[in-house]
Amino acid sequence: MRELSADDIEALAVGAWILGTGGGGSPYHGLLNMRRLYDEGLRVTLMDPQALADGDDVAVVSYMGAPLVTQERLVDSRMTARSVEVMEEYIGRKFRAVMAIEIGGGNAMQPLMAAAHLKIPVVDADAMGRAYPEAQMTTFAVGDLAPAPLTSIDPRGNEVIVSRAATWKWMERTSRKVCTEFGSIAATCKAPRTGAEVKRWGIPYTTTKAINLGKAVMDANRRHEDPIAAILKAERGKRLLAGKVVEVERRTTEGFLRGRAVLESDGRETIVLDFQNEWTVAWHDGRPLASTPELICVLDSDSGEAIGTEMVRYGQRVTVIVLPSPEIFLTPRGLQNVGPRAFGHDIDFRSVFSS
Amino acid sequence: MKRIGIDVGGTNTDAVLINDGRVDGAVKASTTADVTGGILAAMRALRAQSGDGADVDAVLVGTTHFINAVIQRKQLHKVAAIRIGAPATTALPPFCDWPRDLAHLVDGGIWMIEGGHDYDGRRFMPLNVTQVREAAREIRRRGLAYAAVTAMFSPLDPSDEDAVAAILQEEVPGISVTCSHMLGGIGVLERENAALLNAALIALARDTVKGFEEAMRSSGIDAPLFITQNDGTVAAAAHAVALPVYSFASGPTNSMRGGAYLSSLQEAVVADVGGTTTDFGHLQNGFPRQANTVVHIGGVRTLFRMPDLISIGLGGGSLVDTEKMTIGPQSVGFRLTQEALVFGGTQLTGTDIAVAAGLLDIGERQRVAHLPAALIKGALRRAQAMVEEHVDRIKTAAGGVTLLAVGGGAFLIPDRLEGVDRVIRTEHGGCANAVGAAIAQVSGDVDQVFQDLSRTEAVAKARALADERAVEAGADASTLSLVEAEDIPIAYLPGNALRVRVKVVGDINSRQGSTPNARDVRHQHA
């Protein structure tokens, strides 16, 4: 158990954006919210998942909704905390701790925001290890854990509990409907997990991983060193290509941002990156080079800052790196939920780290 | 038609006289702290060059004065910040992402009130008029003269901002109100930041424009005054004083527009090389391409419609490091004529290298005769590499481009560059910024949601409104033409809601002059 410093939280925002693998929404608003809470004297502690007792209850939080709406409605730590309180009222027990469902992007900040108000620790773990667009794309779904209940909160005093869902897909559909009615944004507390479940199915130490990534980038920039090299060293990653963006194509279909970016190295080698909110597959000469569930990250070659699929554009100097996937997603069940076929690519997953 | 174009930069005040499209005079003077002095000096020099200005039809001025006030934290006023969107958004109140020193200067109090809309046009909460009235009375008690009003999703439905502005004007006589929907798109914090900065600058804008008018009077010129804006167009001075943030990027914009005019190019990458920096931009249809990302002004995040620019530390005054063989970003700036070697100084600058290489003939050439050939070559090659890299970054597609080199330091740009088909230089390119001001047209913008109309009717209505706004801003109605139009359907809103964006431009109406129309700037006049 350790108290997070203000610097840790700054680094978390940088690292979480990298782990967003092109999506997940910017952590900027959550960071602003946390800065204010720290200025007011509130503090957050980080807890090792191994310190959880099997019978402990852990709250799992995230914001749901459209990034465009977040730009106007913003985030609010009191709403995140409220989603947890409503869950406590419903299940009739107090939570031992709170954790993230998604360490990639803006949702990395959510457990900290709840924890600051509720005075409980944040578990150093999540259920994606990155960002993914849908609720069933988690290790908890891979583990076939219960998808319900879920609480969904709107600031005008509307609170909804989804008490049962037949499958994770049904939970996604039902909770998405509620979210749309609220204005396409809601603070949610997902199905509570026991300490045993978190230890068995959670991805451990991803908060620390994001903080370390962010620190590697910030330290390298401060020392005028190569931030990409620092990231690769910190996370045993692999550099796919350094070059520039020569073509970008985007379309919005079924509520997702889909498209592709073409990158060219200085040696005139090209790779094509497909995305669906997040980067999904990297191609070279029509053959897959890397794919989900491994993390494809596109970074500004100078600053090491992540470049989102919404912001990528011609002429940017970028480096594409691949970071290892959590073990759970490499199982047949895991690949079924988040492998390339879950994103409509009829290819088998092959790790870039196996060769 | 005779027009005088003036660009008031941080270092130099440039002025040109354009007579029926021909540059008849071009001069440079030093900018003075009061702005007026520099303009007076420039006008005197211009008169010496091309006769008296009695028959001038219009004076068009671009200035970096407002953006510099933000950057230097000077001459800013306290603003009442009113946010409409509670109970949402309150965790991140106005000024929450501002640098502390700037917030301290501008924050006159924060009021967060129920109201606002959602993304689909539905109401988020009814506007709490009682809270608005209470806030207005408190603002009056505190003696605040400037307010910024920002409502959730106001770019889609500005009615709450308009209603609050009306109440403020009723309750607080003489208050000047900036509504955020006039200044930006989706992104409540960034749009609010623009509104707050704008409100803080209105007093300075009024004083500055008054100074311009006095300088013109003292110079014996009786012609309407126009101020240039970020998008390369101008607005009548009386109109422009209400929206100073619209003039933030007028320096680089005017250089690009002036370059387009002097070269007759509509499509090109422009490199504007000054004393300390080079700005790279991209001309499309003769106008600068606009950035679609966050723009930081003095440490504040905004989403202005600003030209997409890359600035690097390379210019005529850039210092050359002979050991590392680099040039810039440090510069002698406006002290060039004292500190550069060719002027008898002790600093090795980009200008010295250019003189030594025979690219330029100013100062005393023998003072750089001792520089080794390898050093000259190395420094120029470094400048070339910097230019090549950034030309490539600013262009939007692979392939060669035309590069237009303007500004006083354009000699640093070589004629042959990787990724560039040809380099174009023009006569008077050193005063491209003042030329850009002189030739500017007037625009009218509309970005609004229309309901219960067919697509054709909605676009026509937006066009009519844009025409009306352009005329109010000083355009000649008979010359208006459409330059931008797009319409975006909005789901879930009763009555076929359509968001329409339209922009028209026309020539300035020199007969109307700077007399404002009574309806000039809705809710923004003092």
State pLDDT tens for residues A204-241: 999 999 999 999 999 998 888 899 999 999 888 999 99
Q: What is the Cβ-side half-sphere exposure of residue B178, based on CA atoms within 13 angstroms? A: 30
**Of A78, A183, A184, which has the smallest distance from its Cβ to B91's Cβ?**
A78
The predicted pLDDT at position B514 comes to 39
Q: Give CA–CA dist B387/B123, Å, rounded.
A: 50
**Of A68, A73, A315, which has the smallest distance from its Cβ to B392's Cβ?**
A315
The predicted pLDDT at position B53 comes to 66
Judged on CB neighbours under 10 Å (0-12, 13-18, 19+), A275 is buried
Q: Is residue B51's pLDDT more than 80?
A: no
A324 touches chain B (CB under 8 A): no
Please state, as a whole number, how many other Cβ atoms lie within 10 Å of the Cβ of residue A38: 17
Q: Do A314 and B189 touch (CB under 8 A)?
A: no
Q: Is residue B521's pLDDT more than 50?
A: no
Q: Do A73 and B152 touch (CB under 8 A)?
A: yes
Strands B326-331 and B146-151 turn out to be unpaired
The predicted pLDDT at position B293 comes to 66
More confident residue, B289 or A82: A82
The predicted pLDDT at position B524 comes to 32
A302 touches chain B (CB under 8 A): no
- Which CATH code, of 2.60.40.1180, 2.40.390.10, 3.30.70.340, 3.30.420.40, is assigned to A226-343? 2.40.390.10
Residue with tokens 């933030």: B248
Report how many Cβ contacts below 8 Å link chain A to chain B. 71
Q: In the numeric block, which tokens belong to residue B466?
A: 């844009």
User: Would the CA dihedral through B66, B70, B73, B79 be positive or negative?
Assistant: positive
**A144, β-bridge pairs:** none
B398 touches chain A (CB under 8 A): yes
Q: What is the pLDDT of residues A176-198, one digit of tens each?
A: 899 989 998 999 999 999 999 99
Amino acid at B71: I
Q: Do A183 and B187 touch (CB under 8 A)?
A: no
Closest among A296, A301, A102, A274 to A188, alpha carbons compared: A102
B-chain residues near A184 (CB < 8 A): 118-119
DSSP 3-state percent helix, strand, coil across chain B (nearest 5): 35, 25, 35
More confident residue, A68 or B203: B203
The predicted pLDDT at position A320 comes to 96
Which of B83, B84, B90, B92 would best serve as a mutation to test chain A binding (most A beta carbons within 10 A)?
B92
H/E run at residue B179: strand B176-179
The predicted pLDDT at position B502 comes to 87
B-chain residues near A263 (CB < 8 A): none
A69 touches chain B (CB under 8 A): yes
* Ordered DSSP codes for B281-341: EEEETTEEPBP-S-EEETTEEE----B--EEES-STTEEEETTTTEEEEEE-GGGHHHHBG
What's the whole-number average pLDDT of chain A?
94
Coil, helix or strand for A36? helix
Distance of CA A95 to CAs A59, A60, B135, Å? 6, 10, 41
Which residue of B lies nearest to A187 if distances are taken between CA atoms? B88
Residue ranges covered by each domain of chain B: 441-506
* Residue ranges with strand state E in chain A: 2-3, 45-47, 57-65, 97-100, 122-123, 125-126, 150-154, 158-162, 185-194, 203-204, 238-253, 256-265, 270-276, 278-284, 287-291, 295-300, 317-323
Amino acid at A121: P
A-chain residues near B152 (CB < 8 A): 72-73
Closest among B476, B27, B434, B393 to B253, alpha carbons compared: B434
Closest among A198, A200, A27, A216 to A125, alpha carbons compared: A198
Closest among B208, B236, B262 to B410, alpha carbons compared: B262
Triad B69, B71, B74: Cα angle to 5° = 35
Residue with tokens 């300035």: B508
Q: What is the pLDDT of residues A244-287, one digit of tens each?
A: 898 888 776 666 778 899 999 878 899 999 998 899 999 999 99
Q: What ipTM describes this predicted complex?
A: 0.92
For A50-63, letters b (16+ CB in 10 Å) and e give eebeeebbbbbbbb
H/E run at residue B356: helix B350-356
Q: Give CA–CA dist B151/B153, Å, rounded.
A: 6
Q: Is residue B507's pLDDT more than 80?
A: yes
Q: Give CA–CA dist B44/B356, Å, rounded.
A: 34
Q: Are B474 and B239 spatial neighbours (Cβ–Cβ below 8 Å)?
A: yes
Coil, helix or strand for B422? strand
Q: Give CA–CA dist A11/A214, Å, rounded.
A: 4
A-chain residues near B88 (CB < 8 A): 73-74, 76, 155-156
Measure A144 CA to nearest chain B CA, in Å: 35
Which of A35, A68, A72, A314 would best serve as a mutation to test chain B binding (most B beta carbons within 10 A)?
A72
Residue ranges covered by each domain of chain A: 2-204, 226-343
The predicted pLDDT at position A39 comes to 97
**Of A155, A156, A314, which has the smallest distance from its Cβ to B397's Cβ?**
A314
Q: Give CA–CA dist B229/B237, Å, rounded.
A: 11
B134 touches chain A (CB under 8 A): no
* The domains spanning A2-204 and A226-343 adopt the same CATH topology: no
Q: Is residue B484's pLDDT more than 50?
A: yes
Q: In the numeric block, which tokens belong to residue A260?
A: 């592709």
Query: Does the structural domain A2-204 have CATH classification 3.40.50.300?
Result: no
**Of A74, A184, A315, which has the smallest distance from its Cβ to B394's Cβ?**
A315
Q: What is the Cβ-side half-sphere exposure of residue A222, based on CA atoms within 13 angstroms? A: 6
Which residue of B lies nearest to A263 if distances are taken between CA atoms? B398
A73 touches chain B (CB under 8 A): yes
The predicted pLDDT at position B517 comes to 37
Q: Are B1 and B57 spatial neighbours (Cβ–Cβ below 8 Å)?
A: yes
What's the whole-number average pLDDT of chain B?
88
A71 touches chain B (CB under 8 A): yes
**Of A36, A68, A77, which has the smallest distance from its Cβ to B186's Cβ?**
A68
Q: Do A74 and B91 touch (CB under 8 A)?
A: yes
The arrangement of strands across the sheet holding A2-3 comes to: A2-3, A45-47, A122-123, A97-100, A57-65, A185-194, A150-154, A158-162
A184 touches chain B (CB under 8 A): yes
Q: Do A184 and B119 touch (CB under 8 A)?
A: yes
Q: Which of A76-85, B80-89, B197-206, B237-246 comes out lowest in average pLDDT? A: B237-246
Q: What is the mean pLDDT of residues A22-33?
A: 94
The predicted pLDDT at position B519 comes to 34
Q: What is the pLDDT of residues A125-141, one digit of tens each?
A: 999 999 998 878 999 99
Q: Is residue A87's pLDDT more than 90?
A: yes
B-chain residues near A311 (CB < 8 A): 293
Q: Do B189 and A73 touch (CB under 8 A)?
A: no
Q: Do A29 and B92 touch (CB under 8 A)?
A: yes
* Ordered DSSP codes for A143-155: TT-----EEEEET
B122 touches chain A (CB under 8 A): yes
H/E run at residue A308: none
Which residue of B lies nearest to A76 if distances are taken between CA atoms? B91
Distance of CA B296 to CAs A109, A319, B197, B302, Å? 24, 25, 12, 6
Closest among B117, B263, B286 to B188, alpha carbons compared: B117
A-chain residues near B394 (CB < 8 A): 315
Judged on CB neighbours under 10 Å (0-12, 13-18, 19+), A159 is middle
The predicted pLDDT at position B403 comes to 96
User: What are the backbone dihedrals phi and psi of residue B321, each rounded to the nearest 5 degrees, phi first?
Assistant: -95, 110
